[in-house]
Each structure stands twice: as C-alpha cells, then as structure tokens.
A = this chain, B = another copy of it.
C-alpha cells in the first residue's frame, strides 16, 4: 500500500537495533514508564525547531505557542521559556498558561464561543482577548465594566481570501471565526463607545498547510488587509497577529514545508507593517509546527493473527488515544501516519495494525510494510506530538488512558 517512504521514517535513529527518541532507547523509556500506550515527547526536538525558526524568520517576529496543539503542562512550560507568548482557547488553557513564566500581556485568547466565566477570568488575568464577533465585544465590555477593568483586545478578522491546497484564493466565505473584513470598520466605530483597550488585529486564515507559496501569498494579503483596516481607523495598531498554520508532513507523499519562502514573506510583512504602523508587535502563532514532529505514540502489540491472507497486529492503543492517526479527525480519505517498529527485525512484512476497540474504525496502519511484529513488540507512531492524546476520545470503551512523558 505504501510505496513511498515517509521522510520522518528515513531520519530515525537506532542503537543496537532499537529505535531511539530523545537519545534514549524506546524500550528503556517504556520500561521506566511502566506502561504502554505512551506518548514520548523530545524536548531537544522542540528546542531545535524553535532555533530553526529563530534563525530563519525575521528576528522582530514574535512567536507564540498555541497550547491546544499539546497542553501537557511540561510541554507548555518549555515552550513558554523558549518563545514570546502563548495562544489559548479556553479557561482551562488559561490556567495552564498562568502556571508558566509567560508575560500575561503576551497571552492571546481566541475562540468563537467564549463563555462569560472565561471572559471574566481572562480579564482578571490581564491577557489579550481576540474578539470573534461584535456581540462578543459588547459582552467583554460589559463584563470589564462590572469588574472595573479595561482589557486589551484585538479584533479577529475573517479575511476575503483563503488558502486552498492549490494556493491562495480570493473569495471570502462565511465563517464562525472572527469578524468579516467588510464589517470591521463598523466594529471599530462601535468600539469607540466601549471602554476597551484596542491593540490591533488577528487574522488566522489557514491551518496545517505545506504550501509555502500559498502561505506567503496569504501573509502578503494579510498585511494588505491590516494596513487597509488601520488606515480606515484612527486608533493605533500596536499588535498584528498573522496567524500560523505551518504544516508538518503526515503522509508519505507530503513534502516538508519550505520555511525559507514563508520567512521571506514574514520579513516583508514585518517591514511593511513596521513602516506604516510604527513597529507594531507582529506575531505568528504556531502549535503543530513546533511540537508535532517531536512526539511519538508508543504501543505494544498484544496479538497477531492471519485472517484470509491479511496479517493483523493488534496493539494496546488506537483510536481512543490517537484519533487523528486512525484517520477519524478531518481526513476524508484515510491515510497512514508513519509507523516504525521499535526493534528492527527481519523480514519486513505487510501488516495491518489495529487498536483494541470493537470497531473497524480503529486502524493505526493499513497494510504497512514494517519489521515483523510479534506479540510483545513495540511500535512507534511518528508525527504524534500535536493533536494526539487530548484530541482523542480517551474514555471510549473505558480503556485506561495513555501516559505522557517529556524527555
């Protein structure tokens, strides 16, 4: 089924025939953790990714970590130390953010259905609220008034362009996210009557994209959009959040993102915004791109069987811990994440790796070419550092949860 080899599989490192992660043999890591399934995250890979970004992107660009990608507190703490800010999407993530060293003014709270208690907590904590609608702006103002506080806000804008797999496309679709670009002038006028501290704009227009040219075009259009809105406003624009959405390769045919192309566009964005708006803080918020390639999901094979010519290896983990690897979160056509045997054995065999759930949806690898897997063998699902454990139905069939470890 897989004829191409995933780039992440090609760069794996083995010691004595055993796959290493964060410099450790995964067999030993599992022994120490005392259980599978287990997510293992590599701190050094996260740091290296940040260094690469710092070296490539403009130095004046602020990079925020989007907690939703991986909210493990140790991961968030590590990212807070390396980066400039945190992006949060709920009161729960606010609490996680406040446990770190982050400067509260550099925490950005976006999300279309903020509840009153969440807005109140955000105001009290002094974070910046990204406003998703005019109604929400009025609710924030009312809550701020009752608290006697004046929160920082940015307006999230739903642009008239979008990033498709074929590149940037003009159009302007309806969206639950942000205020339609054409409604922003009216929102800014309304804002004048409210006691809120306007800081700038937030545009998040694409996600998990590997299309560097398309991203670059969107960044350019975002700058056009923000400069146009700023010109129509008489408020200072101190903050411009360009969004993020840099993708990582999940499937064999995917090619890693050409970061240099994105960096060029970001450089141009920082220059243009700096010149016209007096050096605002320009932000890129990244989640998956920072941590996604730093994690593996390790399971143990519990049973193997042949059924009508197909070899099955049944793992102790699956859909309930790693929904996206099973193909059930946003994929239309199911494709395999890269999977490696932790212990290299000959011969390679074509094996279908499934989880323990009583549903045919629980497939981790459909007809994978992999080292022979017998009962007791360990496998590692790669590219599992983002949208893994917390994006999965952990309580499904009342199996026990996956453990997590940051090395």
Tell yes or no: A115 within 8 A of B by CB. yes
Question: Which A296-345 residues have a C-beta within 8 angstroms of B?
Answer: 302-305, 307-310, 312, 314-316, 318, 323, 328-330, 332
A358 touches B309 (CB 8 A): no
Interface string of A332-375 (1 = CB under 8 A from B): 10000000000000000000101111111100000000000001
A393 contact set on B, CB distance < 8 A: 323, 390-394
Tell yes or no: A158 within 8 A of B by CB. yes
Tell yes or no: A398 within 8 A of B by CB. yes
Interface string of A374-400 (1 = CB under 8 A from B): 010000000000000111111111111
Q: Indicate whether A358 sits within 8 Å of B111 (C-beta atoms), given known contacts A303-B135, A307-B174, A307-B176.
A: yes
> Which of A12-20, A86-94, A213-221, A271-279 contacts its partner?
A86-94
- In the assembled complex, the Cα of A13 lies from the Cα of B89 at a distance in Å of 37
Tell yes or no: A165 within 8 A of B by CB. no
- In the assembled complex, the Cα of A361 lies from the Cα of B318 at a distance in Å of 21
Q: Which of A158, A323, A358, A395 has the most CB of B within 10 A?
A: A358
Tell yes or no: A136 within 8 A of B by CB. yes
Tell yes or no: A132 within 8 A of B by CB. yes
- In the assembled complex, the Cα of A92 lies from the Cα of B396 at a distance in Å of 10
- Further contacts, 11 of them, CB under 8 A, given A113-B314, A175-B307: A90-B356, A90-B397, A92-B400, A93-B398, A133-B305, A135-B304, A207-B359, A323-B393, A389-B395, A390-B397, A393-B394
- In the assembled complex, the Cα of A132 lies from the Cα of B314 at a distance in Å of 11
Tell yes or no: A96 within 8 A of B by CB. yes
A42 contact set on B, CB distance < 8 A: none
Tell yes or no: A112 within 8 A of B by CB. yes
Tell yes or no: A280 within 8 A of B by CB. no
Determine how close the nearest CB of chain B comes to the CB of A296; give it in whole angstroms.
Answer: 19
Question: What copy number does this chain have within its complex?
Answer: 2
CB-CB nearest in chain B for A313: B176
- In the assembled complex, the Cα of A375 lies from the Cα of B323 at a distance in Å of 32
Tell yes or no: A177 within 8 A of B by CB. yes
Determine how close the nearest CB of chain B comes to the CB of A359; give it in whole angstroms.
Answer: 8
Question: Which A152-207 residues have a C-beta within 8 angstroms of B?
Answer: 158, 172-177, 180, 204, 207
Interface string of A251-285 (1 = CB under 8 A from B): 00000000000000000000000000000000000
- In the assembled complex, the Cα of A162 lies from the Cα of B399 at a distance in Å of 28
Tell yes or no: A68 within 8 A of B by CB. yes
Tell yes or no: A71 within 8 A of B by CB. yes
A180 touches B329 (CB 8 A): no
A303 touches B398 (CB 8 A): no
A112 contact set on B, CB distance < 8 A: 303, 314, 354, 356, 358
B113 touches A355 (CB 8 A): yes
A360 contact set on B, CB distance < 8 A: 175
Supply 19 A–B pairs (Cβ within 8 Å), ascending by A. Answer: A68-B397, A91-B400, A111-B357, A113-B315, A113-B318, A114-B302, A115-B302, A132-B305, A133-B303, A133-B305, A135-B304, A174-B310, A176-B305, A176-B307, A176-B312, A177-B358, A180-B307, A328-B329, A392-B393
B390 touches A396 (CB 8 A): yes
A111 touches B356 (CB 8 A): yes
Tell yes or no: A240 within 8 A of B by CB. no
- In the assembled complex, the Cα of A158 lies from the Cα of B115 at a distance in Å of 49
A115 contact set on B, CB distance < 8 A: 302, 316, 356
Tell yes or no: A110 within 8 A of B by CB. yes
B328 touches A398 (CB 8 A): no
CB-CB nearest in chain B for A387: B396
Determine how close the nearest CB of chain B comes to the CB of A219; give it in whole angstroms.
Answer: 19
CB-CB nearest in chain B for A399: B90
B358 touches A399 (CB 8 A): no
- In the assembled complex, the Cα of A134 lies from the Cα of B303 at a distance in Å of 10
Instruction: Pick the residue among B134, B308, B332 that contacts A174 (CB under 8 A).
Output: B308
